[in-house]
Amino acid sequence: MTENPKILVVDDEIGICEGIERALSSENFLVDSALDGDSGLEKFKAGNYALVLIDVMLPGISGIELIQLFHEHDSEVVCIIITGYATVELAVQAIKRGAYDFLTKPFSIDELLHAVNQALEHRRLSLEAKRTQAAEAEAQRLAEETKRLTELDRAKKDFIRLVTHELQAPVSAIENYIKLILQGYIPLENQNSILEKCLARTQEERSLIGDLLELGHLEVISSFQTCEVQLDETLYSVLETDREQIDAKKIDLQIEIAPFLPPILAVPEQIKSLWNNLISNAIKYTPDLGQIKISLNMGPENNFIGEISDTGIGIPKEDLDKLFTEFYRAKNAKAMEVPGTGLGLVIVKRILDGLDGKITVDSRVNKGTTFHLVIPAVYPPKTAK
């Protein structure tokens, strides 16, 4: 039982209030009283009472109404109804409103103490159960957080290991080529081809470092400066820079973009990177005379719906769930010996996560791939004037 718990008596009979106060004070309870419902509610809100003894028939707010008002202020307070007009209906009504017990006037001191002690023990057990539940919930939260941090640490270590490997591989290849030249193993007439390989490896390293830096920047959200960005305008800008590659491969490019698209709040460089990674992949893995389709429209719930489809090499079914994993490239993509860092789609996914967007993919080997984008819009679409 709580040491010296505070008890409030609300009864319009001053004799009842004084009698209860004498009986409970002798047991080291701290007792206050009120002679009507309004002053009882005022005192209750100002104090910190563990238990309230309430008469049913009160001037102003009735005792039954007080039970609910007390519980709204303190859900753990224990209420005992005291009345000289006890009926089954009244008892049921009081219990429904949240009363813990019922004392019928006149009652003895022993009956009063028994009811009060039982009610306070009920309160103690209820509070203890809630503390236990809260402690268990906190322990569960800490266990989940520890597990999450452990997984993050493991993922970080794996990522560092992969980064180290990916960065070392081109450097090691370049180093070996140069050693072969310096040691005289490569005839002069063959050195140009070896130097071209070194240059290609250097370009791979530059691309990888660029993607790693971009991926790192995506982790520092607070450093981004967002502004209104037009998805369609940024898309056209990226396509313009890719036009030479598209024309060189004689790719049939089809574009369908809805008019009057609203802007989104985003980082312009990220939106450019989003389109650049998706479109460059489509160009890279689509053969000559292939086809690329790009669409951007407004969909349900004021979302942008985008699609980038190609008639390229496609992605094996077993590789689809690994597409957005760092440094992962599908087997048939590697077999083409087309340069790639395995980070482009990871960057796309991180950018979309930051926009609360989604990306899904459909693909069939040797048939092509379609990426589906959903990006929430910030402003409603404009209409033609």
Does residue 134 form part of some domain? no
CATH code for position 82: 3.40.50.2300
Q: How far is the C-alpha of 166 from the C-alpha of 208, rounded, in Å?
A: 8
Q: Please tell me whether the overall predicted TM-score, pTM, comes out greater than 0.85 for this model.
A: no
- Domain co-membership, 100 together with 151: no
- Domain co-membership, 234 together with 297: yes
Number of structural domains found in the chain: 3
- Domain co-membership, 231 together with 202: no
Q: How far is the C-alpha of 302 from the C-alpha of 309, rounded, in Å?
A: 23
- Domain co-membership, 291 together with 193: no
Tens place of pLDDT for every residue, the chain, 385 residues?
446 789 999 999 999 999 999 999 998 899 999 999 999 999 999 988 999 999 988 888 888 899 999 999 998 999 998 887 766 677 778 888 888 888 888 889 999 999 999 999 999 999 999 999 999 999 999 988 888 878 767 766 666 666 666 677 778 888 888 998 889 888 888 899 889 888 888 877 777 777 777 777 776 554 567 889 999 999 999 999 889 999 999 999 999 999 989 999 888 988 998 998 899 889 989 999 999 999 999 988 889 999 999 999 999 888 888 888 877 777 777 777 666 667 888 889 989 998 999 999 999 999 999 999 999 986 544 444 3
- Domain co-membership, 247 together with 289: yes
- Domain co-membership, 237 together with 274: yes
Of 43, 76, 107, the position where a domain reaches its end is 107
Does residue 137 form part of some domain? no
Does residue 173 form part of some domain? yes
Q: How far is the C-alpha of 139 from the C-alpha of 3, rounded, in Å?
A: 29
In which region does residue 186 sit, left (phi positive, over 0), alpha (psi from -120 to 50) or beta (all else)? beta
Where in the sequence is the domain holding 154, given as residue range(s)?
147-206
List 359's β-bridge partners, or say none. Answer: 373
CATH code for position 333: 3.30.565.10
- Domain co-membership, 93 together with 151: no
Give the distance, in angstroms, between the CA of residue 314 and the centroid of all CA atoms in the same chain. Answer: 32
Starting at the edge strand that comes first in sequence, how are the strands of the sheet with 51-55 ordered? 30-34, 6-10, 51-55, 78-83, 101-104
Does residue 175 form part of some domain? yes
- Domain co-membership, 197 together with 232: no
- Domain co-membership, 368 together with 231: yes
What DSSP assignment string belongs to 113-165?
Answer: HHHHHHHHHHHHHHHHHHHHHHHHHHHHHHHHHHHHHHHHHHHHHHHHHHHHH
Does residue 53 form part of some domain? yes
Does residue 11 form part of some domain? yes
Does residue 136 form part of some domain? no
Q: How far is the C-alpha of 101 from the C-alpha of 113, rounded, in Å?
A: 12
